[in-house]
Structure 1
Amino acid sequence: MKPSPLHPSPLKALLAAAALACAAIAPVAHAATPAEQLAGYTAQAGAPAVPARGQQFFNTRHGREWSCASCHGALPTQAGKHASTGKSISALAPAFNPERFTDTAKTEKWFRRNCNDVAGRECTAAEKADVLSWLLALKR
């Protein structure tokens, strides 16, 4: 049988199936705005975000050595410095660093890592929404 769009060659069919399988396994970085990511966390939390609660979470130690502010500063509108390594960290507030919270995969990676350092666990969707809502409230 001659290959056609309805009956592709076995090799093309195998390659297409492999590509679909890889796409299902590998997370794709999704470009987003900080507001879109906030909307996602708020929807997951099932309640509105509270910026004041986000500021409090950011500046409080949660039974660990550091708070978010330990590296990002109490007002994360300027560059911070990692408390342990001394590595410079660019401003966290999106109004002061437009690249922040524009990639869903990166946002999740850093929330997971930093929440573990600060709280010893992953943050809840409500905590992420609160922190992000506060960061979005910081304007120039």
Structure 2
Amino acid sequence: MHRCHRTVLPVVAAALCSTALWAGTPAEQLNALAAQAGRSPNPAQGQQFFNAQHGREWSCASCHNALPTGDGKHASTGKAITALAPAFNPERFTDPAKSEKWFRRNCNDVLARECSAAEKADVLAWLISLKR
């Protein structure tokens, strides 16, 4: 095997495996987060986390509303935000990279740090539980 192939193949394999951890449906993403957290998600904790302020000015609900089944708006810019709950917005939590990007960005705004896998799993479990 060519030396380049011995170096590139493990990198490609690792990338494919990490992508598998973040699959493309809300339920698949929840399962991946629960596995990373090492525990089952708790939707009640997710709702509490979503609506609480964590020592900062904002909570998740500041922009997404306490019940994120309808449109919200950014607390400082006023920019419209579509429903966060997947049953009310089928595009939510279908792109793993996008999900991770927004978790990272929003957790930093609310917590001044990244959310843990358990926190993400709890919130996502609650969001998935919201039905029409």
**Fold shared, TM-score > 0.5 on shorter chain:** yes
Stretches of structure 2 lacking an aligned partner (at least 5 in a row): none
Q: Which residue of 1 aligns with 2:66?
A: 74
Cross-structure match for 1:94: 86
1:31 positional shift: 5.7
Choose the corresponding residue for 1:124, options 99, 116, 128.
Answer: 116
Q: Which has the higher helix share?
A: 2
Q: How far 1:96 sits from its partner (Å)? A: 0.1
Asked whether the equivalents of residues 23 and 29 of structure 2 are also in contact (C-alpha less than 8 Å), the reply is: no
| Matched residues, number | 128
Quick one: distance in 2 between partners of 1:72 and 1:121?
19
**Who is 2:37 aligned against?**
45
Code of the residue aligned with 1:91 in structure 2: it is A
Query: What letter corresponds to residue 45 of structure 1 in structure 2?
Result: A
- CA–CA separation in structure 1 for the residues paired with 2:109 and 2:53: 10
| Percent of aligned pairs with the same amino acid | 71
Cα distance in 2 for residues equivalent to 1:60 and 1:136: 19
Partner of 1:139: 131
Q: Deviations over 1:68-123 (max 9, x none)?
A: 00000000000000001000000000000000000110000000000000011000
Instruction: Indicate whether 1:84 and 2:76 are aligned.
Output: yes
* Structure 2 counterpart of 1:58: 50
Stretches of 4+ moved more than 4 A in 1? Answer: 22-25
User: Structure 1 regions of 5+ residues with no counterpart?
Assistant: 1-5, 8-13
1:111 match: secondary structure:
helix
Decide whether the 8 Å contact of 2:23 with 2:32 is kept in 1: no
Partner SS state of residue 101, structure 2: helix
2:87 counterpart SS class: coil
| Larger Rg, first or second structure (1 or 2) | 1
Give the TM-score normalised by structure 2: 0.85
| TM-score of the two chains, using structure 1 as the length reference | 0.80
